[in-house]
Amino acid sequence: MNIPELTYSTELFYTVLMMVILLVINFVLKKTAQRIGEKGEIHITRIRLMFRYINILIVILALFLMAVVWGMNLRDLALIFSSVFAVIGVALFAIWSILSNITSGIIMFFNFPYKIGDKIKIHDKDMPIEALIEDIKAFHLHLRTDEGELITYPNNLILQKAVSLIQKDVFLDEGKNAL
C-alpha cells in the first residue's frame, strides 16, 4: 500500500516554522516592552498599547512571509504592497496629525520624563496649562486642571512645548495624606 505524499509538505513545514519563529519574536518583543515599562515605571495601559503595536507588526510580517512561503511571485507581492502603501500614504497625508500623534505616543512610551499622576505646566504663550496627567493615550494626554477641567492635549504638541514638573506623582501624595 502506497502512502500518499503530501503535495504541500514543504510549504506546511515552512509555515509552521515561520509561525513558531514569529511567536518567539512576539514574546521577546512584548517581554522587552514590559521590562522597559516596569523599569521606567510606565503605566500598564501604555504597556498594553505597545503590545497592540507589536501585534500589528507581527501580523503584517506574517502575511508577507506567508505569501512568500506559499509561492507568491515577489514582483506581484511588491505590486500589492506598494499599492496598499500608496493608498495608506495618501490617506495618512490627508490626516497626517493622526500619524504624528501615534508616532509621538510611541516616542513618549520610551522617552517621556513625566508619568501618570505628575502635575505639570505646559509653557504655551497662547494658553499655558498647569494640570495633572490623568492618562496617556495613543493620540493624546488627559490633563485635569485644579478647577476640575479635563483637557485632552495632543501627543505631538507635548513633545514640541516646554514642560515643567510641578509635583511628582500627586496620586501617591494624596494616598499618603489619606492615611
Three cell numbers, residue 45 = 495601559
Three cell numbers, residue 137 = 493615550
Q: What is the pLDDT of residues 130-149, one digit of tens each?
A: 999 998 888 889 999 999 99
Three cell numbers, residue 167 = 509635583
Closest by CA to 172, choosing from 136, 118, 109, is: 118
Q: Could you give the domains of the chain?
A: 9-94 (no CATH), 114-178 (2.30.30.60)
For residue 8, pLDDT over 80 is answered with no
Is the whole model's pTM more than 0.85, yes or no?
Answer: no
- What is the distance between the alpha carbons of residues 13 and 177, in angstroms, rounded to a whole number? 61
Q: What is the pLDDT of residues 25-66, one digit of tens each?
A: 999 999 999 998 888 888 888 888 889 989 999 998 998 888
